[in-house]
Structure 1
Amino acid sequence: MRFDVNEYKKLSEEDFEKAWMKGTEVLTPKNPNLLFPRYSYSIGEEHPLFKTINDLRRAYITLGFKEVVNPVIVEDSHVRRQFGKEALAVLDRCFYLASLPRPNIGISAEKVDEIEKIAQKKLSEEEIDAIRMIFHEFKKGRIDGDDLPYKLASAIEISDVKAVEIIDKVFPEFKALKPEPESLTLRSHMTTGWFITLSKIASRFPLPIKLFSIDRCFRKEQREDATRLYTYFSASCVVVDEDVGVEEGKAVAEGLLRQFGFKKFKFRLDEKRSKYYIPGTQTEVFAFHPKIVGSSTKYSDGWIEIATFGIYSPTALAQYDVEYPVMNLGLGVERLAMILYDYSDVRELVYPWLYGKIELSDMDIAKGIKLLEVPYTLDGLKIAQSIIECADKNKDIRGPAEVTAFEGEIYGKKIRVKIVEREENVRLCGPAYANEVVVYQGSILGVPRTDKWLHVFEHGFTTGIRYIDSFAHYCARKIEEGVAKDVKEMEIRTRVVESLSDINLGLQENIRKYITSKEGKIDIRGPMFVAVRYEMLS
């Protein structure tokens, strides 16, 4: 719900309170960006890796490919069938899965005594038999580990907390368990999944069959570094047809990468020669990108390897009863994202909060600046707006002077609010009263909208909050409180502004630390000199 204070009469007090409790965004006529909800809502931000994944999905679909999900957990026998004598080298890079065995749990008299001490009750023979049955069912796999405390607690009528304590203290067998390896592996190449998928559909779908999958692969690297991670995303596709060949691979590569702005391509036979490709078909795809021209990498000429394709070997396909030729193309999503978003370290791309430098935009910083005190009521908002309009209209009047900003009722009591200046020949509002809070190059500044500071407004991000705006809302809040306490008169004054809190503004501490770490500054100093006085008339 959004509303403008100019339309306050359209809302009842009850409607306003409901909106306020929900964190309504209240807009003032002069400051459309001025927020004072409990929480502000804004558009989120995509991770560059997943944005690249979404873009690749659209690109494949545009080329007529159908999306599928390939198996992630596969038996190591599939790797042996696909890679033959090279399987050991591939399996050396695979993560094998392991699981905890189910132990045999005996219930001796000593253990019964320990259980009774923790449960603080005497167990019947039926309850002891129930415990034995629970552990027997657990051993057989009929009860899962996360259900074990609940089953135990239910059987002997104790709390889940005591059941967990019994398992922990009475049965050391659980602590001694060690994972036992299985023959299951995490997919290290998307090809492993493609052979399994194709074995089920290659003889059932009409030709040509065009499929793609973008998903995680896992590889046991010696270590994670600037170019390698233990898990990465592969954007892979296959084309199944009676006469598919290398030319189809080139066409798919160009059609896919042109959608990302690449226009020039080179193709070169890959020296690695994977066993599952027909010899002479495994091809590296190089694309030209102007961003990397002259860089310190081996791609300083602007040409970067970005994908690989090949024709699956009939021998490998025969292991899965696939009788048609299959072209497979794959690329690493992280590599593409690094090019598109100008990263040199894959860790900084994928885990910026762990390895990269956290960078906040001026807009991010501005969103962290909030009003500290705001009116509770709609009448309070009207008072704040009246103070702002009065200050703008009468700022140059010289003292001594009193200018009425508001006269009306609040909480059933009639009040008058004035802006006052008691000194001779001094303007009603000080020079900095209309300074605006702007974030510029990572610093928070309070500056007027003059030619001198025009570049700050053009290239920075303004909060839309002027000193008089935030101060007026503080005054309105204090007036509300004063009237509620039956205070007959009150004067609220601000002089030289030195910090955000002097003008009723706060900053998230995390953002303050960020500004300091980046050697930015918070400089909102300025002579404001505004005094607001209210008096109760009845």
Structure 2
Amino acid sequence: MKKKEILKLAKRDFEKAWAETGKNLKNPHHDEEYPRLHFKPGQTHPLSDTMAQLRQAYLLLGFQETINPLFIEEDHVYRQFGPEAPAVLDRCFYLAGLPRPDIGIGMDKIAQIEEIGVSLDEEKIQGLKEVFRSYKKGETSGDDLIHDVSLALEVADATGLRVMERVFPELKELTPISSKTTLRSHMTSGWFITLNALNQNNTLPVKLFSIDRCFRREQREDSSHLMTYHSASCVWMDDEVSLDMGMAVSESLLEYFGFQKFKFLLDEKKSKYYIPGTQTEVYGYHPKLNEWVEVATFGLYSPIALAKYGIDQEVMNLGVGAERIAMILGGHQDIREMVYPHTYGKWGLSDREMASMLHLNLYPVTDDGRRLMESIIQTAVEYGDTSSPCEFTAFQGEFMGKNIEVKIIEPEAGTKLLGPASWNRVHVYQGNIVGVPQPAEIERFQSPDDIVEKLLSMGKEVMDDLAIKALKKGIPTGISYMDGVAAQAAYRMEEMVVSGEEQLKLRATIAKSPSDINLKLDELAMRYINSNNKVIDIRGPIFCTITGEIKD
């Protein structure tokens, strides 16, 4: 069933549409069945790499990892920020939940349920009322409501879902009610709660770090702001703590990432949870960047805020934005493109990726077929420049239990056994797929300059600019036009033997598209080429005729 049909059916009957999707499952290819399915190494995300490095750096500095509370009650923000709290709460996300309604079952509801085809009696009605009563009291999870309704009515879940959709619209009309709980907007909110729990129960100094997600209700997301980010934060609690500790920790932490010089400037923001004159911005100089960049902030927690949590010790706090470090080291200009490359980044394929998406379409299945393919190629290499008319036997003997003879022929006079493009090879350059003239006999690691020189010495036509660039700078696929023709011929010979046919003739003339040389390009690569105005230029005369005959 197609996607549009599924969506139409889902609007009419979601449960039926959902059940229909199960019928679309296909058995995997034999090579992709368990346990033959094997995985190749995947690719990491730059942000995850940076967080892993930050974690390792903190551990090497002797800090213990912890996880701070994520759900912060509004009261904690007032305790930490004092009069500044309302402005801070403006950038916080509040959590909300749906109220659990009173769901009544009157005579009209009973009639509607029976119209759906559900027979009711007093026992089922009481059972349904008990399910709704339990749901209202919070004893039944919302995840289980449909199933519990179905059990009470003694019907399938599909029917229970239909009853809830058509008879009890109260659930669809619910409006969320906000609580006093916020999502952590900065790691400090969690640190006060954690330090309060640890106070008096741990030996000093207490050195903790946490790398975790925070949420900030920005007016909009742009190249430098997201509504969720990762804070790599630490605290150092002791009887006496100085700003020098913040400088030393930040310097040691950032040296791990290659920063070599540091300078410290007082931050003008002056957050109320820090002691006045201690909130400090850290700037680092990285040789890769050749400039100073802001990379961290530290300060000493205010005794007023600490006292509200019963903490008598002094606390230094340092915060590093993981996304900030990842952007600096990766040279990214837009945080959205770095964090969400599939959504915001410009989609593209590397030449190497595209080269891996180009395949021989028809390829011999048997060992005999693959040996025949090689024989055809070797014969073509040896006699390709022979003047016509001519014919050469590429193979004669037993093939898949039959005695066959395979020839390469050119009956027309005044030409050669093979056309001039037969040994063109396919390269990928800047998203273009290009056929490049090359000698029939070429060493695997021969340099592009040597190939051009050899072609010129043989009197070949000078290649166009794109072909020369593809040869010198592109990614070679290793596929020649003749490889594609030979693979197709060997595959067809296998079909000839299996089908019982006695003769076969395969003719390749002028290549215009990948299919003309038995190549297949993945749909993803084709979509990339079309959407980016790239080209597939594999034009060229092959003029190769291959015949096969069973001689029994």
Separation in 2 of the partners of 1:312 and 1:250? 15
* Matching residue of 1:314: 303
Separation in 2 of the partners of 1:285 and 1:98? 37
The 3 A distance-change label for structure 1 pair 511 and 171 is: same
SS for the counterpart of 1:227 is coil
* Matching residue of 1:288: 285
* Matching residue of 2:207: 210
Partner residue of 1:123 out of 107, 120, 123: 120
Unaligned 5+ runs, structure 1: 1-19, 25-37, 294-301
Give CA-to-partner distance per residue, 1:13-40, whole Å, 9 cap, x none: xxxxxxx93169xxxxxxxxxxxxx999
1:537 aligns with 2:551: yes
Separation in 1 of the partners of 2:30 and 2:364? 13
* Matching residue of 2:17: none
- Given that 1:282 and 1:311 are in contact with CA atoms closer than 8 Å, whether structure 2 keeps it comes out as yes
Query: 1:220, CA displacement in angstroms?
Result: 0.7
SS for the counterpart of 2:170 is coil
Partner residue of 2:424 out of 432, 435, 444: 435
* Matching residue of 2:67: 69
Query: 1:372, CA displacement in angstroms?
Result: 1.9
Query: 1:359, CA displacement in angstroms?
Result: 2.8
Q: How does 1:75-86 map to 2 (within 5 A)?
A: 75-86=73-84
Unaligned 5+ runs, structure 2: 1-28, 439-450, 454-466
* Matching residue of 2:391: 402
Separation in 2 of the partners of 1:197 and 1:409? 80
* Matching residue of 1:469: 483
Partner residue of 2:346 out of 353, 357, 360: 357
Query: 1:512, CA displacement in angstroms?
Result: 2.2
The 3 A distance-change label for structure 1 pair 112 and 455 is: same
* Matching residue of 2:270: 273
Separation in 2 of the partners of 1:448 and 1:259? 50
* Matching residue of 1:151: 148
Partner residue of 2:402 out of 378, 396, 413: 413
SS for the counterpart of 1:483 is helix
Which amino acid is 1:474 matched to? Answer: Q
Query: 1:129, CA displacement in angstroms?
Result: 0.9
- Given that 2:124 and 2:153 are in contact with CA atoms closer than 8 Å, whether structure 1 keeps it comes out as yes
- Given that 2:507 and 2:546 are in contact with CA atoms closer than 8 Å, whether structure 1 keeps it comes out as yes
The 3 A distance-change label for structure 1 pair 157 and 484 is: same
SS for the counterpart of 1:429 is coil
Which amino acid is 1:123 matched to? Answer: L
Which amino acid is 1:356 matched to? Answer: G
* Matching residue of 1:383: 372
Separation in 2 of the partners of 1:427 and 1:258? 68
- Range with bigger deviation, 449-458 or 173-182: 449-458
- Range with bigger deviation, 91-100 or 57-66: 57-66
Q: How does 1:8-47 map to 2 (within 5 A)?
A: 21-22=30-31, 43-47=41-45
Query: 1:289, CA displacement in angstroms?
Result: 4.1
- Given that 1:66 and 1:212 are in contact with CA atoms closer than 8 Å, whether structure 2 keeps it comes out as yes
SS for the counterpart of 1:211 is strand
Which amino acid is 1:92 matched to? Answer: D
The 3 A distance-change label for structure 1 pair 448 and 240 is: farther
Separation in 2 of the partners of 1:54 and 1:437? 41
SS for the counterpart of 1:173 is helix
Which amino acid is 2:322 matched to? Answer: V
Q: How does 1:106-121 map to 2 (within 5 A)?
A: 106-118=104-116, 120-121=117-118
Give CA-to-partner distance per residue, 1:213-246, whole Å, 9 cap, x none: 2221111111112221111111112223333321
* Matching residue of 1:5: none
SS for the counterpart of 1:93 is coil
* Matching residue of 2:459: none
* Matching residue of 2:511: 497
Give CA-to-partner distance per residue, 1:126-171, whole Å, 9 cap, x none: 1111101111111111111121111111222212122111111111
* Matching residue of 1:228: 225
Separation in 1 of the partners of 2:51 and 2:478? 36
Give CA-to-partner distance per residue, 1:308-328, whole Å, 9 cap, x none: 011122322233333332221
- Given that 2:236 and 2:317 are in contact with CA atoms closer than 8 Å, whether structure 1 keeps it comes out as yes
Query: 1:291, CA displacement in angstroms?
Result: 6.2
The 3 A distance-change label for structure 1 pair 451 and 256 is: farther
Q: How does 1:483-522 map to 2 (within 5 A)?
A: 483-522=497-536
Separation in 1 of the partners of 2:375 and 2:261? 63
- Range with bigger deviation, 395-404 or 170-179: 395-404
SS for the counterpart of 1:121 is coil
- TM-score, structure 2 normalization: 0.84
* Matching residue of 1:527: 541
Separation in 2 of the partners of 1:39 and 1:437? 30
Give CA-to-partner distance per residue, 1:489-509, whole Å, 9 cap, x none: 111121221111111112233
The 3 A distance-change label for structure 1 pair 269 and 471 is: same
Partner residue of 2:336 out of 347, 361, 386: 347
SS for the counterpart of 1:22 is helix
* Matching residue of 1:298: none
* Matching residue of 1:262: 259
Which amino acid is 1:461 matched to? Answer: I
* Matching residue of 1:134: 131
Partner residue of 2:58 out of 53, 57, 60: 60
SS for the counterpart of 1:128 is helix
SS for the counterpart of 2:169 is coil
- Given that 1:374 and 1:477 are in contact with CA atoms closer than 8 Å, whether structure 2 keeps it comes out as yes
Separation in 2 of the partners of 1:23 and 1:501? 26
- Range with bigger deviation, 88-97 or 378-387: 378-387
Query: 1:454, CA displacement in angstroms?
Result: 7.0
Separation in 2 of the partners of 1:99 and 1:399? 84
Separation in 1 of the partners of 2:309 and 2:488? 75
- TM-score, structure 1 normalization: 0.86
- Given that 1:233 and 1:334 are in contact with CA atoms closer than 8 Å, whether structure 2 keeps it comes out as yes
- Range with bigger deviation, 376-385 or 91-100: 376-385
- Given that 1:287 and 1:306 are in contact with CA atoms closer than 8 Å, whether structure 2 keeps it comes out as yes
- Range with bigger deviation, 389-398 or 218-227: 389-398
Separation in 1 of the partners of 2:495 and 2:32? 21
Query: 1:208, CA displacement in angstroms?
Result: 3.3
The 3 A distance-change label for structure 1 pair 403 and 272 is: same
Which amino acid is 2:382 matched to? Answer: K
CA RMSD of aligned residues (A): 2.5
Query: 1:280, CA displacement in angstroms?
Result: 1.7
SS for the counterpart of 2:435 is strand
1:180 aligns with 2:169: no
The 3 A distance-change label for structure 1 pair 344 and 156 is: same
SS for the counterpart of 1:115 is helix
- Given that 1:202 and 1:240 are in contact with CA atoms closer than 8 Å, whether structure 2 keeps it comes out as no
Separation in 2 of the partners of 1:505 and 1:328? 61
Query: 1:457, CA displacement in angstroms?
Result: 4.3
Separation in 2 of the partners of 1:491 and 1:112? 75
Query: 1:474, CA displacement in angstroms?
Result: 1.6
Separation in 2 of the partners of 1:421 and 1:40? 46
Separation in 2 of the partners of 1:203 and 1:465? 72
- Range with bigger deviation, 268-277 or 152-161: 152-161
Structure 1 moving runs of 4+ over 6 Å: 38-41
Query: 1:178, CA displacement in angstroms?
Result: 0.4
